[in-house]
Structure 1
Amino acid sequence: MTPTLEDEWLWGWDPTPGIVSVWAEPDGRVTVWRRLPGTGALVREEVRFRPWLLLSSLEDLSHLGPRLRPEAEGLAPVSYQELEGPGALRYLVHAEDGRMLASAVLQGASRRLGRPVGHVRELPEDTVLSLPPEEQYLTASGRTYFRGLGFDALHHLQFDLETTGLDPQQDRIFLVAVRTPEGQAETLEAQGPGDAAEAELLQRLAARIRACDPDIIENHNLHGFDLPFLAHRARRLGVPLALGRDGAPGLRQRPSSRGAALGRGPAARAQDPMRRTRYTMPGRELIDTMDAVLRHDFSARDLPGHGLKAVARHFGLAGPERELIPGPRVHAVFLQEPERVRRYAREDVSEAAGLARLLGGAAFALAQMAPRRYERLADAGPATGVIDPLLVRAYLRAGAALPAHEPGDGTPHSGAALHLFATGVAQRVVKADVASMYPSLMRQYRIRPQRDRLGVLLALVDRLVEQRLAAKAQGQAAAPGSPARHTHEALSAAMKILVNSAYGYLGAAGLTRFSDVHAANDVTRHGREVLGLLCRELARRGVTLLEADTDGVYFAVPEGWREADERRVVAEVAALLPPLVKLSFDGRYAAMLSHEPKNYALQTYDGSLLLRGVAFRSSRAEPFGEDFLRRALRCLLAGDVAGVRTVFVETVTALRRRELPTQAVTARVRLTKDSPQYLATRERRRELPYEAVLASGRTEWTPGEHVRVYRASGGRAGLLPDAETAGAGSDPRDYDADYYVRQLRETFAARLVRALTPEDFAAVFADPGQLSLFAPRLDQARPILTVLFDPATLPS
């Protein structure tokens, strides 16, 4: 079937299969590595292209004289094409060498402005568009990565460093775990403590990577720690890191909004360029699974933390016998029990591989669409990082001038609709899902940015929705766990990311090329109307609305309703909505505690407890409080108010008797200041985490280090001892019990306040140490549900 123009906008137009990496130089030389679909053989191609810039005017090139000519007159050292339409960026300028072209522009701009201009990025965005060489090549050629390949067809390698500490100025790499593309985990170790042994280890690592010849190198926090630490140590030791497929130049730096954090102290951080850069290399894509974890948690909000161990446990990637060693203790344990650390490191790279496959599919699929290197798409935001390259490619393909970024006219962007109809405990709860409401409304009412005269954004949304449904169906038809299912599910996920980013792109005034706050507000207005209609019609059918937003609606159904009744009501209301807005039955629950907007607890009919929102899930929450909440919520959602009292009394008693281990009252915090920074402000403001570290006898620590701290008796700050060094039975149990009893009531119990009458709440959480002759009985108490407003009052 002949591709349509819209297909070219989404997928590019060059069908070359199997591209796994592209490396382009500013002089127009390009190396393309491809894996041939079917055989998996790797081929290397050398091609050339003419580097280009997009300019608003030729004024800064006028000094070239006859060396600048229209492309219609034939090739010249510098040639240009004037693009059609009203866009500000209308001159597509090509040259034999990109550096020469940039230098010519800067020379002209310096003359025009009367001051030196050192880099193209110093010029206003409304005068120039400059892309990295690889993106210039991919945009101009219509090529994309991974055509005809599945995720598992790529050769993946994971490596993870074990170091004596976190500071590359003074700490060393003593062991590296490597997982080969064949799935074999192994370790490389320094044969001694000195510089020569570490240098030899780095040479062996580089040789091992070259021998394995991976397409992709992955690890968790790869760009935040492993690569910057490795590069720093190699530089200090004089070891060339020839890790790329072309050997030299090895690692290069590229700009990034989230880079490494290896600087120590304000001066060091100011001098450390790696804080705002990432690494790249010829022929291999460097993927940090932390990016995929952060994207997942931004939408799902279900992770207990972002570290590899916590995420691997959450997703079931860590085995029951997983070796666990506190980070600061790894080197000390290695000196005594090296095999333990070897197991620990091998499990790290195996879990990183599992995480890459589990969460990395969407970025892999995006690389089949957008004209960017895979590694850049993996850490890009979907709006400016993915949608904008698609729009730029489409306009240049059509020979159309591009608009520049423009500030808004001051019109505020109206917020999304969010209604909290009731708080407290509801029984027999249903979730009805609205699939991609705002993109659906863009399609339904043909709302697009005013400056997108080709209609590319809306056409992309149309295509993505249609093709996502096909990919989702193909994924469901494929065998569970099969490469085909993984590929189709990844494609569906990538398309969902793009579709849901379209509205955000539209409303990001001044941040995106085709932003249009008036169009975005039009979408929002329709969204409020649709959500109001949906809620009113559900309420007319006898349900109790709990919470509604553009993602869906939670409501409680009357006693006696069966699942068939629930599905019938959702289907009836769905039929009243605009045709392209899809409402579907998304789940049913035995009970729900509605606390605040987007903060609730659900209990499934099989007894599972699902917590959503920071009120019920926080990586800094003390374990005793989380345990109390889970136990109390199970009772509360079952209607057992007396049981909640029992859980509270048991927890208070255990705290006061110090029956709970100290670990249960600790908070896990990340140290963000080094010791000189904190000591400089200590007299003005004392902070528990740093006071705890100082009280333990330590005078130095590393920013980024995680510690578990608590409030000890007598107002002291406590640091949880390391079990490896403290030994069994050394738990101090010196925490301030009264403080944690207050915290239990004022922080954790307070999250149940909307589920009880004031009298019942006071009775349930009364201090068990203060007996009352008139304590109310709780055996007849029941959770309450408070309706806040009537859906019928929503504007139509």
Structure 2
Amino acid sequence: MILHIDDKYDKNNIYVFYRDHYEVINKDAYRYSFNRGNELRKIWKRMEMVDLIKVPDGEFEKTLTPKTRFINDNRLYPEYRLSNLTSMSFDIETYNLEGFPDPDKDRIVSIAYVYEGNVEVIAEDDEQDTITSFLNAVRAYDPDIIVGYNLERFDLPYLANRAKKLGIDFNIARYGLPTRDPINIPGRIVFDVYRLAILLSRFGILDLDDFSLSHVYYKIFGEKKFEIDKDMIWHLWENDRDRLLEYNKGDAIATDRIYRRFLPLMLELSNLSRMYLQDLIRGYSSKIVDNLIVSEGYSKYIIPDIYQEHEEESYEGGYVKMPKPGLYENIAVLDFASMYPSIIIANNIDYYTHLGDKDFLSEPLGLIPTTLKRIVDERMKIKNLIKQQQDRSLEIKSQALKIIANSFYGYMAYRRSRFYLKEAAEKVTEIGRNIILQVIDMAQSAGMEVVYADTDSIFIIYSTKEKVLEFVDMVNSTFPTMKMEIEGFYKRGIFVSKRSDDTGAKKKYALIREDGNIKIRGFELVRRDWCELARELQEEVLTRILRDGDVEGAVKRVRETIETLKYGKVDPQKLVIYTKLSKDIDDYKNVMPELVAAKKLMALGWDKRRLSGAVIKYIISAGSGNIASRAEPVEIFIKNNLRYDPDYYIDHQILPAVLKIMSSLGYDEQRLKSNLKQNRLI
């Protein structure tokens, strides 16, 4: 089994890394050259649609890398098997008195790792012993995959820098090859779970606006991992080492759990897209589709070059019926399974079948429709198998196929795509709009109220589930090339208004299923610049309204929170605001609260260089001056027993957290601050 194919280890060769050996191939045999024998004539000969393609004068397939040519010429595609791979997840902790750790002077105090379920923490008094013991563990266990959270930008480079400073051989490569780059290790796959979280967010599998390990872990498992104040790691190392090591171990375990939860899916995506795992984790959904289409068309088509970026061209997207803001009961959400892929296949929409404007050949089937049809057909077969037998591996493969299929339209519309064609994307959305408008008319003719519709889905108010099932059957008989499915039945839902007016907002709603689970889209439930009190209140308000239909109770809870703030009865720890410095302190042109708080830390002796990129924790204190000037670092606020500014927290934290919800129910800022009561809306 090939683990990885690397073209960056040295500039002249391609390395094929197996578990127990490697092969070296000279890049020259696979470099682009226009004058390579009869290559142009051979490519023309194997074209399926010769008359429709214009070869660029003097150049073709120039942006296909030697690595891409080598893989496709030899059909060396990934064939990963979960049972054949071993992994080690790890996390490091560093001793730094303030700011962001500096590898030039801040030592590593502990390293926790998980190897196939076994957890170890190395924390020697001598840093050299700690690093050496960990590197020896990597060599001894010899994992195929090295795993960490943000390990490409922090853990591995930091570890390599500290090893170099201490005169330790950092080499953890296989085959006796040197480790030239800490994030590209010969014979091992480097798997960054931070990059995984970003990829899952782009796939729509995770809804994330905070990519910290603690938040990602909570979103996946619904559990809070063990936490400490990271600015106090040095203090814990000196005074409460067991607590620090528990935290270090917890981070390694959390990273390993996330990795293992999604590794089967990532392996399926690698195998299906023919993209090796390390490249997949470092890529984007567009790159995954590009890799698959190139491999499918490599032997038959002239592959277009990738341009830096095509000119920006606008076109009309999917149809959206905006909702009327408010609270609704008995909502059924219906959507078409793979609407856009079905449209692309049925209408043969493709780079190679394009005749001009929005016209496409009806046959033969183009490259993208052919590739997409294979993906969709395979998923349909697997879904039928799942109905006959419960098999987790089949469900994972079905999910991987769905991710790939649903990425094709976005790839065609992406201006840096090699197969970008505005007319193709425009044709897809035009057909999609016509279909969803017909479905809305059908629903209204059947006596159903359509609350909201967006691209390929509609939200309807239903009287009985039987009528919904009958309606779905009618839609599917009308559009036989695609399939409408019932996404779910919800007992209650709230649609919020836009910021600028009273009309409904796109993709901003919250629904509660019959089993009590809440589905949220577009709500900023967890924003780093909201304090804990604001986040907790928003969640409680939403739960009361959706679960109990108790609008009056939600209003009462908001007013109670406002009163508690006014009288100074809130624990200051619930008012801490976390804001990351996005640039160097000297580069800020505007005076921001986090900047003021950072400068106050500098006055206490914190190194300015170490504050760049750090998360600043502060509380807005009472007093004169603008808001920014009253941003106090938590340490100063607590030490000096300062008072918080209740008006700031009411107007800039509490009310913004709930107004988006409450304004949809007829409550504005003044009504929430007053003692007026509104009758129950349901």
Q: Give the TM-score category using the shorter length.
A: 0.7 to 0.9
Partner of 1:245: 174
- Tell me, in whole angstroms, the C-alpha distance in 1 between the residues paired with 2:292 and 2:195: 21
Residue 5 of structure 1 is matched in structure 2 by none
Q: Which residue of 1 aligns with 2:109?
A: 174
1:316 aligned onto 2:215: no
- Name the residue aligned to 1:505: 411
Tell me the distance in 2 between the aligned counterparts of 1:476 and 1:247: 49
Distance 1:337-1:51 versus aligned 2 partners, 3 A rule: same
Partner residue of 1:157 out of 60, 73, 88: 88
Closer, same or farther in 2 for the Cα pair 1:438/1:335, shift >3 Å? Answer: same
What is the 5 A alignment of 1:601-640? 601-637=510-546, 638-640=548-550
The answer to whether structure 1 residue 137 and structure 2 residue 50 are counterparts is no
Question: 1:155 Cα shift?
Answer: 0.3
Offset, 1:458: 1.1
Q: Does 1:377 align with 2:280?
A: yes
Residue type of the partner of 1:163? Answer: T
Question: In the alignment, what sits opposite 1:269?
Answer: none
Contact 1:304 1:311 in 2 (8 A): no
User: In structure 2, what is the equivalent of residue 771 of structure 1?
Assistant: none
Shift in Å, 1:69? 5.2
Unaligned runs of 5+ in 2: 355-363, 497-504
**How far, CA to CA, are the matches of 1:616 and 1:324 in structure 2?**
21
Residue 630 of structure 2 aligns with which residue?
717
CA distance in 2, matches of 1:69, 1:212: 49
SS in 2 for 1:397: coil
Q: How far off its partner does 1:448 sit?
A: 1.6
Cα distance in 2 for residues equivalent to 1:753 and 1:153? 53
Unaligned runs of 5+ in 1: 1-17, 35-42, 59-67, 72-78, 92-124, 254-278, 769-774, 784-796
2:346 partner letter: Q
> C-alpha distance in 1, partners of 2:533/2:27?
63
Partner of 2:261 in structure 1?
Answer: 358
Aligned residues: 642
**Aligned residue for 1:660?**
570
Which of the residues 442, 448, 452 maps onto 2:350? 448
2:499 aligns to what? Answer: none
Aligned 8 A contact 1:426 1:593 in 2: yes
1:444-502 per-residue CA deviation (whole Å, 9 max, x = no partner) reads 222222368982211111111111233445567665xxxx61x3333222222211111
State whether structure 2 residue 15 is matched by structure 1 residue 44: no
Q: 1:99 matched to which residue of 2?
A: none
The answer to whether the 8 Å contact 1:695/1:717 transfers is no
Shift, 1:159, TM fit: 1.5
> Which residue of structure 2 lines up, in the alignment, with residue 544 of structure 1?
449
Q: Which residue of 2 aligns with 1:673?
A: 583
- Secondary structure of the 1:430 match is strand
**Separation in structure 2 between the aligned mates of residue 80 and residue 52 of structure 1, nearest angstrom:** 19
Q: 2:672 aligns with which of 756, 765, 779?
A: 765
Q: 1:270: which partner in 2? A: none
Q: Which residue of 1 aligns with 2:288?
A: 386
Contact 1:21 1:283 in 2 (8 A): yes
- 8 A Cα contact 2:655 2:669, kept in partner: no
Amino acid paired to 1:172: R
Alignment of 1:739-758 (within 5 A): 739-743=648-652, 746-757=655-666
> Aligned equivalents of 1:739 and 1:23: distance in 2?
54
Of 593, 598, 603, the match for 2:494: 593
Percent pairwise identity: 22
Match for 2:430: what amino acid? R
SS state of the match for residue 634, structure 2? coil
Distance change in 2, residues 1:709/1:368 (3 Å): same
Question: Structure 1 residues 239, 88: CA separation in 2 closer, same or farther (over 3 Å shift)?
Answer: farther
Preserved contact between residue 429 and residue 589 of structure 1 (Cα < 8 Å): yes
- Specify which of 190, 195, 202 is matched with residue 131 of structure 2: 202
- DSSP 3-state at the match of 1:129: coil
- Residue 371 (structure 2) aligns with: 460
Contact 1:54 1:90 in 2 (8 A): no
What is the CA–CA distance in structure 1 between the aligned matches of 2:663 and 2:447, rounded to whole Å?
A: 23
Structure 2: distance between partners of 1:675 and 1:377? 35
1:448 is paired with a residue whose SS is: coil
Asked if 2 retains the 8 angstrom alpha-carbon contact of 1:468 and 1:495, the reply is yes
- Tell me what 1:405 maps to: 306
> How big is the shift at 1:288?
0.5
SS at match of 2:298: helix
Distance 2:570 2:386 in 1: 48
- Can you list the C-alpha shifts for 1:180-207, whole angstroms capped at 9, x where unaligned? 2x32111223433xxxx43x43333222
- Secondary structure (helix, strand or coil) at the match of 1:600 reads strand
Distance 1:132 1:735 in 2: 61
Find the aligned partners of 1:300 and 1:32 in 2 and give their Cα distance.
Answer: 31
1:656 to 1:243, Cα distance in 2 relative to 1, 3 A: same
Q: What one-letter code is carried by the residue in structure 2 that aligns with 1:494?
A: A
Distance 1:475 1:153, change over 3 A: farther
- 1:702 aligns to 2:611 (yes or no): yes
Aligned residue among 541, 546, 555 for 1:645:
555
Q: 1:520 aligns with which of 425, 437, 441?
A: 425
Preserved contact between residue 21 and residue 175 of structure 2 (Cα < 8 Å): no
Three-state SS of the structure 2 residue aligned to 1:161 is strand
Whether the 8 Å CA contact 2:30–2:70 is kept in 1: the answer is no
State the alpha-carbon separation in 2 of the partners of residues 55 and 316 from structure 1. Answer: 48
Tell me, yes or no, if structure 1 residue 20 matches structure 2 residue 3: yes
Cα pair distance change 1:659/1:296, threshold 3 Å: farther
8 Å Cα contact 2:199/2:285 also seen in 1: no
Structure 2 counterpart of 1:284, from 188, 191, 194: 188
Aligned-partner residue type, residue 692 of structure 1 = A
Q: 1:215 aligns with which of 124, 144, 166?
A: 144
Q: One-letter code of the match for 1:162? A: E
Does the Cα contact within 8 Å between 1:140 and 1:393 map onto a contact in 2? no
TM-score (norm 1): 0.74
Which of 714, 723, 737 in structure 1 is aligned with 2:646? 737
Change (3 A) 1:764 1:349: same
| Counterpart in the other structure of 1:347 | 250
Letter in 1 for 2:681: R
Measure the CA separation in 2 of the matches of 1:505 and 1:732.
Answer: 56
Q: Which residue of 2 aligns with 1:338?
A: 241
Which residue in the other structure is 2:357 paired with?
Answer: none
SS at structure 2 position matched to 1:231: helix
Say whether the 8 Å CA contact 2:293–2:371 is kept in structure 1: no
Separation (CA, whole Å) in 2 of partners of 1:358 and 1:401: 39
Deviations 1:76-119 (A, max 9, x none): xxx9966545454799xxxxxxxxxxxxxxxxxxxxxxxxxxxx
Tell me by how many angstroms 1:226 deviates.
0.8
Shift of 1:156: 0.8
The answer on whether the counterparts of 1:450 and 1:516 sit within 8 Å (CA) in structure 2 is: no
Residues 485-500 of structure 1 correspond to what in structure 2 (within 5 A)? 485=392, 487-500=393-406
Which residue does 1:57 correspond to in 2?
34
With over 3 angstroms needed to count, the CA separation of the structure-2 counterparts of 1:687 and 1:248, relative to structure 1, is same
Per-residue deviation, 1:50? 6.7
